[in-house]
């Protein structure tokens, strides 16, 4: 009997034959096994905030007046920032210039890390070692090796670790990924992602840092360079020593959704091609199953999954399926029903109590940021890369492999 | 070499136009040495591109040539800033050939930035001589450079440095000592064990934490170096330090595959410390070998739990499967049994899994949660489950048969098709209907003949299911067969097949429907008209309009429904034509759905002259709200001299419990006409606010800035900020939910800020709740004291934030600060007692 697959078959079939195996890790989260062992709902969980600039302040406002998850300490290398942050909490809030002091505090059970990217790995790993649960802003790391080290530390010390890629906690993205993984638009051929912009060497001239700014500590493990107001507080993302640019900043959102939608949370692409020609620029990722992801100056909103028999386009507050029918039939038992996060902070808080794995667990954050970093490396080196997602190693290109990590400035050490 | 030169010419041509590495470096050196940022940037990027290109696979000679050329530019005659950048380049391309130059530069006498740059370049340099140079530098470096060199030796896992590092671990320089301990841990030589252990016994505070971390890393490195015995001893000792270290040690045992520690891991599953318990779950799931499975099975026998079952399911294997089978068969605890039945869904039903399928099948029919779980598990279980279920289907009856049919449908596998097709001729109508639906889910073209046969001889229920199934069938051959059957069919059969054609929306279907709309058979015509109404093809509209005018009553009804669907499509381009369809619907249809569509369309397309056509629908019934919305819209379009009539309409609509938007608009209109209405007050909302806005809020900066209202409000005086004058303006929200929509109130919204001030009076002091919502950020002061702040972007939700407050007797002053990023903005505040009941208070009104 013919098993030829056609459009209509795919419009109405589930993902059963496509990938129930792939669906399992996302649906059944291992951490939930230990669910009975967490602190009770009434336990107070003290939060320390490392980095209280723009994004850090956003996070702090969620907890500043919380009784069950109170902000107990703030840390920032700019005195004005930490003073403002502490003031928003109250007189009892501790203020620190050095994050290690926050980690030493007994009343801090968990930390929210919202510093520039080049600090994430060191702070998060030290937090795990100090027994603190972690909410770390995206992109998770500055390098691929750092991301792996962060995931290893979180597992070693059994920490609840939420990556700040909060789109996984949004209904429209979950819905898109459920439909894609349930095979509603057939076999996925191509994914278009509208993220573009990498980082470059920093050549900014020296300027005087603002009063109360510990610039040496801001630089931390990155190569030394003098202060310039272009670096702090806003534009450090343009520079490679501190960030991967938009490719990691927004890639940690949209490429994270690609990984989710393709069921690749424990894997990644096998080939990465740099942009070509003078037209719209994009990096091309190829996955082992043949899916091609084009990430760059694509004329799509957010992320567009293109299957044999339809398309699903999703962005923040935007969802469009073509044909519309693919999104109207409810998901059945054999379809992929993904975990529903109650909200990104709420999910983290809930998991701190249940000791479960949050929606964007560190392992997921590490895999997603790895995809972003690979894109950057392909752009920088301007050549095709072969990647082994199982071993997390470059294949046949030792000079490209040098970009998997970077030396830290003495005396800093991961 | 030629390709290298060509590559350089190509790459560098836009900026430097040179053809050898030396020439390239000579050209870009002035840029690198410049004090102009743009020049440095251009030169650095040209250098990088050359490095990236030369580093490609298969271009070793080119890489080496460039590396040597860069190394030759590291002399003291080159400005320090340029040398630092050249050293960054050697981090990318340098190998053995660069080591001599780097070894010189890391030595004393060079500027610190050059020494640090050389260390970094040696750190990433893969050549064995780079390690040697780092070891040599160890004796010459001092301060943070020395610490950096030590860490680099650790990163490089240089066994030959172990002796030197052991010496430094006893150093009086604490930073160097700690770095040496960490580097020794990374290298993982057995001789480092007593050194790290001594550090553990001598250090305190944060330094001790570093040593403890190094201790665990040392064990990991020993595992990597195949020294598992030593590693086990370290994990064992570390486990006694703290629960956190015990957790880490358990993971270490598992990663090292230490079978001797299985019982310890299993025991830790019951540890009261959540960190240890969680690590034990992870370790028990991860450790390789059968030993852990056996240990878990023993524990499961003694003390069955869902946790143990889940760990076993993660471990997979025959032992785990047997445990699940046993739990599913023999346990008395319902939750355990259900979990076991559920966990089978994660297993593949390979040749050893037949017993699991049999068990699941035997449980099917027990009813309730068990049936639901079994059905789900069978639907998602991988492997050849379908064949077994198909075999069972012939022997099943009643609800069990229906459940098996649903499973086969959900599995959508062709192997289940034959059994489903047999079930389609079952004596039971529910079975036949379910089978037809499942056949549609499987979607094989081979089912078309069967379904067509059923279509023409079955009753209504079966026919409906067969139509749905035919609509879902895959393949051009299905379409061809259906069209051929349609061509042969007559009367009722022909009509039914036309419905299938309409649902499939294959190419050419609209043309077939148009043609059929003129056939003599009324049944065929009705099916065609219905199909055209669903077609989304505007070319069908003229036919539908003609049928509305000339067709029979039944045809009119179907054509009208179809035409209404096209209403929105044509309303923009041909308003009068759309309105005619809507008004016609009001005239001839009694169907609430038609009438609702018509009312909505009239509201969009009509002037007030049709108000009288709408008012009769305001009576109680399913159309009341829709009619209310339409009446409001049309009343708003009444001229000035007919506002008395409009007032009556607003009052009439408001009395109907309309939706929020309609109610707000009615209230606003009535207030304009002098009628005071305040629906939100009854629910405890503060509805009268003085607004001071809009202040610029670039990049959200206003959050940190305290403008004059935060230190005191004087409603009579304007407020000055950055050269602009702002005046307090009274706003009485029309929203029945007390929402102050600042955009609606006339304040521009993009990156703007506003202060909202209200005074309320209570008869006596009391505890109360402020229930607030905001879009985006909000801060709230009560009687000058800040009681709440939320700083993040969000949409407005009523009662989103709740704050406990104490109100004083008499007047209480409330100040809100609302900041917006983009799009809408606003806030609401409701006052209740501590039990959530709206509080009785008076508002300052002017």
**Minimum mean pLDDT among A60-69, A200-209, B185-194, B444-453: which range?**
A60-69
> Secondary structure of chain B: what % helix, strand, coil (to 5)?
65, 10, 25
Q: Report yes or no on B706 lying in a domain.
A: yes
φ, ψ dihedrals at A325, nearest 5°: -60, -25
Q: Judge whether A303 and A254 are in contact, CB under 8 Å.
A: yes
Helical H segments across B606-623, by residue range: 611-614
Predicted local confidence at residue B382, as pLDDT: 78
Q: To 5 degrees, how large is the angle CA A205–CA A211–CA A212?
A: 115
Chain A residues with beta carbon closer than 8 angstroms to that of B120: 223, 407
Q: Per-residue pLDDT for A32 more than 70? A: no
Predicted local confidence at residue A335, as pLDDT: 80
Residue among A138, A398, A361, A382 at smallest CA distance from A247? A138
Cα A226 to Cα A206: distance, rounded to the nearest angstrom = 5
Q: At what angle do helices B37-54 and A362-381 cross, to 10 degrees?
A: 90
Extended strands (E) in A201-300: 271-273, 282-286, 292-296
What is residue B114's DSSP assignment?
Answer: H
| Domain termination site, one of B118, B141, B164 | B141
Q: Per-residue pLDDT for B554 more than 60? A: yes
Predicted local confidence at residue B353, as pLDDT: 63
- How many Å lie between the alpha carbon of A121 and the closest alpha carbon of chain B? 16
Q: CB of B440 within 8 Å of any CB in chain A?
A: yes
* pLDDT tens per residue, range B694-742: 998 876 788 888 999 999 999 999 999 888 899 999 999 988 889 998 9
The strand pair at A71-75 and A94-96 is best described as: parallel
Predicted local confidence at residue A33, as pLDDT: 40
Q: How confident is the model at residue A12 (pLDDT cuts 50, 70, 90)?
A: very low
Identity of the residue in B37, B209, B314 whose CB atom sits nearest the CB atom of A203: B37
Predicted local confidence at residue B150, as pLDDT: 98
Chain A residues with beta carbon closer than 8 angstroms to that of B347: none
CATH number at residue B753: 2.60.120.380
Extended strands (E) in A40-109: 47-50, 71-75, 94-96
Residue in A closest to B788 by C-alpha: A65
Q: CB of B514 within 8 Å of any CB in chain A?
A: no
Q: CB of A29 within 8 Å of any CB in chain B?
A: no
Q: Judge whether B621 and B590 are in contact, CB under 8 Å.
A: no
Q: CB of B536 within 8 Å of any CB in chain A?
A: no
| Domain termination site, one of B125, B141, B157 | B141
Record: contact A24-B147, CB cut-off 8 A: no
Cα A254 to Cα A247: distance, rounded to the nearest angstrom = 10
Predicted local confidence at residue A7, as pLDDT: 36
As for the ipTM of the complex, it is: 0.89
What is residue B703's DSSP assignment?
Answer: G
Residues 6 or more apart whose CB falls under 8 angstroms from that of B42 comprise B15, B31
Q: How confident is the model at residue B351 (pLDDT cuts 50, 70, 90)?
A: low
Helical H segments across B274-305, by residue range: 274-286, 290-302
Identity of the residue in B281, B445, B788 whose CB atom sits nearest the CB atom of A65: B788
What is residue B822's DSSP assignment?
Answer: S
- 3-state DSSP assignment of residue B567: helix
Record: contact B474-A104, CB cut-off 8 A: no
Record: contact B278-A28, CB cut-off 8 A: no
Residue in B closest to A88 by C-alpha: B789
What is residue A47's DSSP assignment?
Answer: E
Record: contact A409-B116, CB cut-off 8 A: yes
> Secondary structure of chain A: what % helix, strand, coil (to 5)?
40, 15, 45
Q: What is the mean pLDDT of residues B105-125?
A: 97
CATH number at residue B106: 1.25.10.10
Record: contact A61-B175, CB cut-off 8 A: no
Q: Report yes or no on B699 lying in a domain.
A: yes
- How many Å lie between the alpha carbon of B435 and the closest alpha carbon of chain A? 16
Count of beta carbons in the 10 Å neighbourhood of residue A395? 14
Record: contact A30-B55, CB cut-off 8 A: no
Helical H segments across B412-521, by residue range: 417-423, 429-442, 448-457, 460-472, 476-488, 491-504, 509-516
Q: Which residue has the higher pLDDT, A383 or A299?
A: A383
Q: CB of A148 within 8 Å of any CB in chain B?
A: no
Residue in A closest to B414 by C-alpha: A3
* pLDDT tens per residue, range B326-338: 888 887 888 899 9
- Number of folded domains in chain B? 2
Q: HSE on the CB side for A348, CA within 13 Å?
A: 29
Q: What is the DSSP string of B640-654?
A: GGGHHHHHHHHHHHH
Residue among A112, A101, A110 at smallest CA distance from A131? A110
Q: To 5 degrees, how large is the angle CA B621–CA B625–CA B627?
A: 90
Q: Report yes or no on B173 lying in a domain.
A: no
Q: To 5 degrees, how large is the angle CA A183–CA A186–CA A188?
A: 95
Q: CB of B124 within 8 Å of any CB in chain A?
A: yes
* pLDDT tens per residue, range B466-494: 998 998 888 888 999 999 999 999 888 89
Chain B residues with beta carbon closer than 8 angstroms to that of A400: 55
- How many Å lie between the alpha carbon of A202 and the closest alpha carbon of chain B? 7
Chain B residues with beta carbon closer than 8 angstroms to that of A33: 281, 285, 307, 310-311, 314
Greatest mean pLDDT among A136-150, A307-321, B630-644: A136-150
Cα B715 to Cα B159: distance, rounded to the nearest angstrom = 77
Cα A375 to Cα A381: distance, rounded to the nearest angstrom = 10
Q: Judge whether A312 and A320 are in contact, CB under 8 Å.
A: yes
The strand pair at A161-163 and A133-136 is best described as: parallel
Q: Judge whether B532 and B517 are in contact, CB under 8 Å.
A: yes
Give me the percent of chain A exceeding a pLDDT of 90. 70
Residue among A12, A87, A2, A3 at smallest CA distance from A327? A12
H/E run at residue B271: none
Give me the percent of chain B exceeding a pLDDT of 70. 97
Residue among B518, B520, B521, B486 at smallest CA distance from B502? B486
Q: Per-residue pLDDT for A226 more than 50? A: yes
Query: Residue ranges of the domains in chain A?
Result: 1-29+169-201+230-339+360-414, 38-137
Chain A residues with beta carbon closer than 8 angstroms to that of B440: 12
Q: What is the mean pLDDT of residues B795-822?
A: 90
Record: contact A223-B88, CB cut-off 8 A: yes
Torsion over CA: B743, B747, B749, B753 (sign): negative
Number of residue pairs across A and B with CB atoms under 8 Å? 215
Record: contact B777-A61, CB cut-off 8 A: yes
First CA to last CA across chain A, in angstroms?
59
Count of beta carbons in the 10 Å neighbourhood of residue B390? 22
Helical H segments across A237-338, by residue range: 246-249, 251-261
Predicted local confidence at residue B322, as pLDDT: 84
Q: How confident is the model at residue A14 (pLDDT cuts 50, 70, 90)?
A: very low
In chain A, residues 32-51 whose CB comes closer than 8 Å to chain B: 33-34, 36-39
Q: CB of B472 within 8 Å of any CB in chain A?
A: yes
H/E run at residue B720: strand B719-721
Cα B678 to Cα A377: distance, rounded to the nearest angstrom = 62
- 3-state DSSP assignment of residue B817: strand
Chain B residues with beta carbon closer than 8 angstroms to that of A407: 91, 119-120, 123-124, 152, 155
Q: How confident is the model at residue A279 (pLDDT cuts 50, 70, 90)?
A: confident
Q: What is the mean pLDDT of residues B81-99?
A: 97
Predicted local confidence at residue B7, as pLDDT: 42
Q: Judge whether B700 and B790 are in contact, CB under 8 Å.
A: no
- The CA–CA distances, whole Å, from B107 to A42, A412, B133, B138 equal 59, 20, 10, 10
Fold equal for A1-29+169-201+230-339+360-414 and A38-137: no
Q: How confident is the model at residue B10 (pLDDT cuts 50, 70, 90)?
A: very low
Cα B531 to Cα B528: distance, rounded to the nearest angstrom = 5
Record: contact A62-B144, CB cut-off 8 A: no
In chain B, residues 294-313 whose CB comes closer than 8 Å to chain A: 307, 310-311
Q: CB of B236 within 8 Å of any CB in chain A?
A: no
- How many Å lie between the alpha carbon of A301 and the closest alpha carbon of chain B? 18
Identity of the residue in A30, A203, A411 whose CB atom sits nearest the CB atom of B147: A411
Chain B residues with beta carbon closer than 8 angstroms to that of A402: 91-92, 124
φ, ψ dihedrals at B30, nearest 5°: -55, -40
Residue in A closest to B701 by C-alpha: A54
CA dihedral B212, B213, B219, B220 (to 10 degrees): 170
Cα B280 to Cα B498: distance, rounded to the nearest angstrom = 63
Record: contact B441-A13, CB cut-off 8 A: yes
Record: contact A2-B152, CB cut-off 8 A: no
Superfamily of the domain at A38-137: NAD(P)-binding Rossmann-like Domain (3.40.50.720)
- 3-state DSSP assignment of residue B819: strand
Cα A138 to Cα A153: distance, rounded to the nearest angstrom = 17
| Domain termination site, one of B88, B109, B141 | B141
Q: CB of B209 within 8 Å of any CB in chain A?
A: yes
* pLDDT tens per residue, range A299-355: 788 999 998 878 899 998 889 888 777 888 788 777 888 998 989 999 999 999 888
Predicted local confidence at residue A16, as pLDDT: 27
Q: Which residue has the higher pLDDT, B46 or B668?
A: B46
The strand pair at B688-696 and B729-732 is best described as: antiparallel
Count of beta carbons in the 10 Å neighbourhood of residue B734? 24
Average model confidence (pLDDT) for chain A?
Answer: 87
Residues 6 or more apart whose CB falls under 8 angstroms from that of B82 comprise B29, B32, B33, B73
Record: contact B44-A28, CB cut-off 8 A: no
Q: HSE on the CB side for B299, CA within 13 Å?
A: 24
- How many Å lie between the alpha carbon of B290 and the closest alpha carbon of chain A? 20
Residues 6 or more apart whose CB falls under 8 angstroms from that of B115 comprise B105, B106, B107, B108, B141, B145
Q: Report yes or no on B241 lying in a domain.
A: no
Q: CB of A30 within 8 Å of any CB in chain B?
A: yes
Cα B623 to Cα B448: distance, rounded to the nearest angstrom = 42
* pLDDT tens per residue, range A85-129: 998 888 889 999 999 999 999 999 999 999 999 999 999 999 999
Q: Report yes or no on B109 lying in a domain.
A: yes
Best residue in A156, A224, A403 for a mutation probing chain B (most B CBs within 10 Å): A156
Q: In DSSP terms, which residues pair with B770 in a beta bridge?
A: B803, B831
Residue among A324, A320, A315, A269 at smallest CA distance from A291? A269
Q: Report yes or no on B637 lying in a domain.
A: no
Q: What is the mean pLDDT of residues B72-83?
A: 95
- What is the extent of the structural domain holding B71? 1-141
- How many Å lie between the alpha carbon of B650 and the closest alpha carbon of chain A? 34
Q: CB of A200 within 8 Å of any CB in chain B?
A: yes
Q: CB of B792 within 8 Å of any CB in chain A?
A: yes
Residue-wise burial string across B556-575, b where 16 or more C-beta atoms lie within 10 A, e elsewhere: bbbbbbbbbbbbeebbeeee
Q: Per-residue pLDDT for B147 more than 50? A: yes
- 3-state DSSP assignment of residue A314: strand
Q: What is the mean pLDDT of residues B748-767?
A: 91
Average model confidence (pLDDT) for chain B?
Answer: 90
Record: contact A65-B789, CB cut-off 8 A: yes
Q: CB of A410 within 8 Å of any CB in chain B?
A: yes
CATH class, range A1-29+169-201+230-339+360-414: alpha beta
């Amino acid at each position: 009997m013919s098993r030829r697959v056609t459009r209509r078959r795919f419009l109405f079939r589930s993902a059963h034959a496509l990938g129930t195996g792939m669906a399992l890790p996302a649906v059944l989260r291992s951490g939930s096994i230990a669910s009975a062992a967490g602190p009770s709902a009434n336990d107070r969980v003290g939060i320390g905030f490392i980095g209280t600039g723009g994004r850090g302040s956003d996070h702090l406002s969620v907890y500043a007046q919380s009784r069950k998850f109170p902000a107990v300490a703030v840390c920032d290398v700019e005195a004005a920032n930490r003073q403002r942050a502490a003031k928003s909490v109250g007189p009892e809030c501790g203020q620190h210039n050095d994050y290690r002091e926050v980690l030493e505090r007994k009343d801090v059970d968990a930390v929210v890390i919202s510093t520039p990217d080049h600090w994430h790995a060191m702070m998060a790993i030290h937090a795990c070692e100090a027994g603190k649960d972690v909410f770390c802003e995206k992109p998770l790391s500055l390098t691929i090796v750092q991301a792996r080290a962060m995931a290893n530390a979180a597992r070693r010390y059994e920490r609840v670790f939420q990556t700040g890629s909060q789109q996984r906690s949004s209904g429209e993205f979950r819905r898109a990924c459920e439909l894609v993984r349930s095979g509603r638009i057939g076999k996925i051929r191509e994914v278009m992602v509208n993220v573009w912009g990498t980082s470059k060497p920093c050549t900014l001239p020296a300027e005087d840092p603002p009063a109360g700014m510990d610039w040496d500590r801001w630089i931390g493990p990155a190569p030394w360079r003098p202060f310039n107001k272009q670096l702090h507080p806003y534009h450090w993302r343009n520079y490679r020593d501190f960030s991967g640019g938009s490719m990691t900043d927004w890639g940690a959102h949209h490429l994270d959704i690609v990984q989710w939608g393709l069921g690749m949370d424990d894997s990644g692409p096998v080939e990465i091609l740099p942009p070509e020609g003078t037209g719209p620029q994009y990096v091309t990722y190829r996955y082992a199953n043949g899916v091609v992801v084009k990430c760059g100056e694509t004329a799509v909103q957010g992320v567009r999954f293109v299957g044999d028999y339809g398309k699903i386009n999703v962005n923040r507050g935007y969802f469009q399926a073509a044909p519309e029918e693919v999104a109207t039939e409810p998901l059945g038992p054999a379809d992929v029903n993904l975990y529903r996060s109650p909200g990104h902070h709420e999910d983290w808080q809930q998991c701190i109590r249940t000791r479960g794995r949050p929606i964007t667990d560190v392992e997921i954050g590490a895999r997603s940021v790895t995809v972003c970093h690979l894109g950057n490396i392909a752009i920088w080196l301007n050549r095709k890369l072969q990647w082994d997602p199982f071993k997390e190693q470059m294949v046949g290109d030792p000079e490209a492999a040098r970009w998997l990590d970077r030396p830290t400035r003495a005396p800093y050490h991961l | 070499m030629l390709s290298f030169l060509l590559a350089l010419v190509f790459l560098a041509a836009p900026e430097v136009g040179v053809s050898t590495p030396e020439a390239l470096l000579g050209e870009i050196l002035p840029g690198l040495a410049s004090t102009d940022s743009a020049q440095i940037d251009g030169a650095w990027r040209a250098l990088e591109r050359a490095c990236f290109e030369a580093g490609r696979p298969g271009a070793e000679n080119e890489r080496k040539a460039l590396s040597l050329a860069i190394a030759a530019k590291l002399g003291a005659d080159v400005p320090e800033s340029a040398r630092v950048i050249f050293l960054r380049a050697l981090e990318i391309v340098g190998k053995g050939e660069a080591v001599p130059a780097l070894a010189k530069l890391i030595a004393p006498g060079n500027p610190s930035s050059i020494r640090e740059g050389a260390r970094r370049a040696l750190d990433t340099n893969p050549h064995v001589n780079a390690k040697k140079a780092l070891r040599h530098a160890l004796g010459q470096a001092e301060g943070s450079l020395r610490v950096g060199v030590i860490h680099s030796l650790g990163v490089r896992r240089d066994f030959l440095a172990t002796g030197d590092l052991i010496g430094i671990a006893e150093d009086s320089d604490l930073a160097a000592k700690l770095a040496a301990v960490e580097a020794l841990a990374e290298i993982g030589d057995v001789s480092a064990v007593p050194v790290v252990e001594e550090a553990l016994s001598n250090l305190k505070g944060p330094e001790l934490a570093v040593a403890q971390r190094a201790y665990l890393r040392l064990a990991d490195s020993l595992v990597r170096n195949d020294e598992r015995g030593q590693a086990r001893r370290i994990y064992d000792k570390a486990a006694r330090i703290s629960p956190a270290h015990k957790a880490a040690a358990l993971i270490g045992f598992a990663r090292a595959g230490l079978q001797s520690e299985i019982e310890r891991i299993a025991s830790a599953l019951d540890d009261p410390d959540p960190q240890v318990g969680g690590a034990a779950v992870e370790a028990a799931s991860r450790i390789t070998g059968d030993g852990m499975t056996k240990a878990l099975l023993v524990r499961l026998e003694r003390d069955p739990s869902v946790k143990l079952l889940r760990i076993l399911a993660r471990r997979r294997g025959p032992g785990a499967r047997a445990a699940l089978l046993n739990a599913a068969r023999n346990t008395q605890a319902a939750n355990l049994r259900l979990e076991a039945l559920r966990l089978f869904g994660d297993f593949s039903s390979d040749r050893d899994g037949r017993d699991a399928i049999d068990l699941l099948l035997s449980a099917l029919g027990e009813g309730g949660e068990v049936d639901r779980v079994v059905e789900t598990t069978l639907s998602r279980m991988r492997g050849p489950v379908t064949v077994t279920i198909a075999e069972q289907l012939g022997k099943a009856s009643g609800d069990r048969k229906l459940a098996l049919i649903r499973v086969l449908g959900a599995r959508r596998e062709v192997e289940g098709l034959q059994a489903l097709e047999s079930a389609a001729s079952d004596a039971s109508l529910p079975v036949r209907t379910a089978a037809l639906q499942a056949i549609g889910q499987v979607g094989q073209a081979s089912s078309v003949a069967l379904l067509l046969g059923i279509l023409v001889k079955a009753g209504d229920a079966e026919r409906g299911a067969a139509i749905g199934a035919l609509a879902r069938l895959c393949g051009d051959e299905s379409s061809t067969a259906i069209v051929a059957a349609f061509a042969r069919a007559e009367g009722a059969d022909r009509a039914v097949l036309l419905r299938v054609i309409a649902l499939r929306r294959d190419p050419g279907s609209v043309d077939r429907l148009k043609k059929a709309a003129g056939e003599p058979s009324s049944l065929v015509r009705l099916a065609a008209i219905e199909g055209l109404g669903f077609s989304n093809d505007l070319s069908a509209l003229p036919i539908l309009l003609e049928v509305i005018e000339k067709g029979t009553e039944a045809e009119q009804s179907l054509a009208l429904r179809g035409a209404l669907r096209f209403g929105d499509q044509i309303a923009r381009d041909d308003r009068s034509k759309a309105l005619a369809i809507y008004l016609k619907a009001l005239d001839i249809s009694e169907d609430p759905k038609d009438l609702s569509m018509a009312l909505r369309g009239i509201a969009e397309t009509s002037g007030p002259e049709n108000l009288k056509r709408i008012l009769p629908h305001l009576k109680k019934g399913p159309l009341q709200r829709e009619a209310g919305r339409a009446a409001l819209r049309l009343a708003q379009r009444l001229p000035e001299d007919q506002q008395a009539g409009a007032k009556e309409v607003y009052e009439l609509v408001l009395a109907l419990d309309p939706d929020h938007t309609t109610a707000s608009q009615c209230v606003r209109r009535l207030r304009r006409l002098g009628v005071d209405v305040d629906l939100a007050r009854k629910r405890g909302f503060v509805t009268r606010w003085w607004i001071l806005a809009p202040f610029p809020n670039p990049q959200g900066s206003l959050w940190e800035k305290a403008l004059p209202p935060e230190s005191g409000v004087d409603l009579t005086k304007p407020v000055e900020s950055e050269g602009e004058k702002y005046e307090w303006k009274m706003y009485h929200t029309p929203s029945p939910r007390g929402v102050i929509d600042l955009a609606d109130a006339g304040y521009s919204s993009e990156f703007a800020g506003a202060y909202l001030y209200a005074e309320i009076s209570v008869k006596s002091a009391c505890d109360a709740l402020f229930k607030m919502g905001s879009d985006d950020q909000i801060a709230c002061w009560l009687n000058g004291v800040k009681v709440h702040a939320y700083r993040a972007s969000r949409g407005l939700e009523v009662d989103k934030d709740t704050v406990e407050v104490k109100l004083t007797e008499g007047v209480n002053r409330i100040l809100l600060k609302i900041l917006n990023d983009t799009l809408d903005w606003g806030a609401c505040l409701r006052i209740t007692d501590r039990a959530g009941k709206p509080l009785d208070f008076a508002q300052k009104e002017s």
